[in-house]
Amino acid sequence: MHNQDQALIFELSTPGRIGYSLPEMDVPELDLSALLPDGYLRTEEPELPEVSELDIMRHYTALSRRNHGVDSGFYPLGSCTMKYNPKINENVARFNGFAHVHPLQDESSVQGALELLYDLQEHLIEITGMDEVTLQPAAGAHGEWTGLMMIRAYHEANGDMNRTKVIVPDSAHGTNPASASIAGFETITVKSNEHGLVDLEDLRRVVGEDTAALMLTNPNTLGLFEENILELAEIVHGAGGKLYYDGANLNAVLSKARPGDMGFDVVHLNLHKTFTGPHGGGGPGSGPVGVKVDLIPFLPKPIIAKRGEEFVLDYDRPQSIGRVKPFYGNFGINVRAYTYIRSMGPDGLKAVTEYAVLNANYMMRRLAEYYELPFDRHCKHEFVLSGRRQKKLGVRTLDIAKRLLDFGYHPPTIYFPLNVEECIMIEPTETESKETLDSFVDIMIQIAKEVEENPEIVQEAPHTTVVGRMDETKAARKPVLKYQQA
Ligand SMILES: *Cc1c(COP(=O)(O)O)cnc(C)c1O
């Protein structure tokens, strides 16, 4: 840790210090009051820090070094797919023709941008096995809600007004029940069996004439492939419900299996996960939704259509659920995903899946000796361990996560999914080398040994970070959300 980082302070202002110097003004001063209505002009000087350019540069550079990102270290955050974001994506997103278009420009002047979006949709249709795709939703959860609103509109258009329930497995991502509830449905939980898969008996029990849809993540959040997927689809379709596929983590099946072929009616993807959009910290995401043919009329409008050689925004969609995002989604992230898909090609995308799955299984096998493995079977892109053995020795999974910080790693996802006690959920992704995987595993093994021999060092971690252990209860109950001068 550099001294500069330790000494980071916020009160840098020195009266009179400035970041630039301009020559004396030699033209008449503009009379702003003639341009702006009364009340819009400030009457006092703004209170801004008075700093030099160098002061501000060092301040922000020091702040940036307190962040952990994929570009600075391993980030095995299960379910979040923190994979490397290739820099060619950034280059392309900055092309003038993409970066400098305005969303209110006439369609005829943004044909290239529309063509890129149209072509991206075509690729996603191919990848998911669906019939049509919208790029409007700005995130995975937004895609879920959009998909469920379409399912709702579909049932209503059929006069099927009593389908008020959405079935969600107990291992589902928290956004699934939340989206269902915001879309006006009641959620029914279906249990997992002892293998970590949806319990078909329990599903048969809860499914019925009031079922609007089943939302399923496959592979599920335990990293396991739902092997009874076709039977599951039959049960739900048999009862008149629709099948929703949470494809946020498509990394595990990309170019190998398609939700459309498994019988699903709706799927959302997270372009900011599988398709290398930068994410975390709330950057703009993209959660496109693909649908089968009978849901096409309900897609958000406008849709991008091709008329002859021309690309147009089609608003003439009487059954559409309406617009779900201003303009046409987060354009920049869609450009990045498109660049990724084109630069990888079909063979590259297949290799993604193979390495993502290989990496996860490799780490799982190496760690299984030191941490409990609740579901001892071949995993997909991620796997879960349980810290139960360590908890018996007085060390919680949270302590292990904090100890990892001392070695420069972002911890895995912990305490999720909820159906595994002291859960540790690891997703290495395909972009990491064997050396990185091995170093991380070595440290996890070292921590397991520390738990047995010297638990305090783990319980009191982190020791090397700028900020130590937080009082999590106080942070949740009494959050201080803005900077307070000491
Ligand atoms: C990340 C994730 C989501 C939510 O995606 P956001 O873009 O964060 O809204 C939904 N489901 C699963 C399985 C996920 O991993």
User: Which of 2-6, 169-173, 318-322 is predicted with the least confidence, judged by mean pLDDT?
Assistant: 2-6
* Pocket test residue of 77, 79, 244 for ligand 1, highest count of atoms within 8 A of CB: 79
Structure tokens at 115: 């063509």
| Collapsed DSSP state (helix, strand, coil) of residue 16 | coil
Over range 88-106, report the average pLDDT. 95
pLDDT for 5 equals: 46
pLDDT for 255 equals: 92
The string of DSSP letters for 152-174 reads HHHHHHTT-TT--EEEEETTS-T
Distance CA 26, CA 65 (A): 43
In this prediction, what percent of the chain has a pLDDT beyond 70? 97
227, 197 Cβ separation under 8 angstroms: yes
Q: Which residue has the higher pLDDT, 174 or 125?
A: 125
pLDDT digit string, tens, across residues 161-206? 999 999 999 889 999 999 999 999 999 999 999 888 999 999 999 9
- What is the enclosing helix (H) or strand (E) of 357? helix 331-367
Q: Which residue has the higher pLDDT, 447 or 284?
A: 447
* Pocket test residue of 77, 175, 246, 381 for ligand 1, highest count of atoms within 8 A of CB: 175
Residue 3 pLDDT > 80, yes or no? no
In angstroms, what is the span from residue 237 Cα to ligand 1's centroid?
25
* Number of H-type helices and E-type strands within the chain: 15, 12
Over range 77-100, report the average pLDDT. 95
- Domains annotated for the chain, with CATH where assigned, are 3-65 (no CATH), 87-343 (3.40.640.10), 352-477 (3.90.1150.10)
Strands 289-291 and 132-134, sheet pairing: antiparallel
> Which residue's C-alpha comes closest to atom 14 of ligand 1?
248
pLDDT digit string, tens, across residues 216-250? 998 888 888 899 999 999 999 999 999 999 999 99
pLDDT for 119 equals: 98
Over range 285-301, report the average pLDDT. 97
Q: Is 223 left (phi over 0), alpha (psi -120 to 50) or beta?
A: left
Structure tokens at 278: 């930068």
In angstroms, what is the span from residue 96 Cα to ligand 1's centroid?
31
Over range 303-314, report the average pLDDT. 95
Name residues contacting ligand 1 (CB within 6 A).
79, 139-141, 173, 175, 217, 221, 246, 248-249, 270, 285, 287
In angstroms, what is the span from residue 173 Cα to ligand 1's centroid?
7
User: Which of 97-101, 382-386, 476-480 is predicted with the least confidence, judged by mean pLDDT?
Assistant: 476-480
CA 266: distance to chain centroid?
Answer: 18
pLDDT band at 1 (very low <50, low <70, confident <90, very high): very low
Q: Which numbered atom of ligand 1 lies nearest the CA of 272?
A: 7
In angstroms, what is the span from residue 142 Cα to ligand 1's centroid?
9
Is the bond leading into 417 cis (omega within 30 degrees of zero)?
A: yes
Over range 340-369, report the average pLDDT. 97
- What is the enclosing helix (H) or strand (E) of 149? helix 140-157
- Dmax (CA) of the chain: 83
- Comparing CA positions, the residue from 427, 392, 410 lying closest to residue 462 is 410
Residue 7 pLDDT > 60, yes or no? no
Q: Which numbered atom of ligand 1 lies nearest the CA of 270?
A: 7
| Collapsed DSSP state (helix, strand, coil) of residue 310 | strand
Q: Which numbered atom of ligand 1 lies nearest the CA of 287?
A: 7
- Comparing CA positions, the residue from 413, 134, 79 lying closest to residue 246 is 79
Over range 102-106, report the average pLDDT. 93
Average pLDDT, the chain: 93
Distance CA 396, CA 415 (A): 10
Beta bridge partners of 307: 310
The string of DSSP letters for 451-481 reads HHH-HHHHHT--SSSSS----HHHHHHS---
Q: Report yes or no on whether pTM surpasses 0.85.
A: yes
pLDDT for 4 equals: 43
Distance CA 434, CA 421 (A): 29
pLDDT for 486 equals: 62
pLDDT band at 47 (very low <50, low <70, confident <90, very high): confident
Q: Which residues contact 443 (CB under 8 A, 6 or more apart)?
A: 404, 407, 409
- What is the enclosing helix (H) or strand (E) of 206? helix 200-206
Over range 330-356, report the average pLDDT. 96
pLDDT digit string, tens, across residues 386-396? 999 999 999 99
Q: What are the b/e assignments for 239-257, b being 16+ CB within 10 Å?
A: bbbbbbbbbbbbbbbbbeb
* Pocket test residue of 77, 246, 274 for ligand 1, highest count of atoms within 8 A of CB: 246
> Which residue's C-alpha comes closest to atom 2 of ligand 1?
248
Residue 38 pLDDT > 90, yes or no? no
258, 207 Cβ separation under 8 angstroms: no
Q: Which residue has the higher pLDDT, 466 or 281?
A: 466
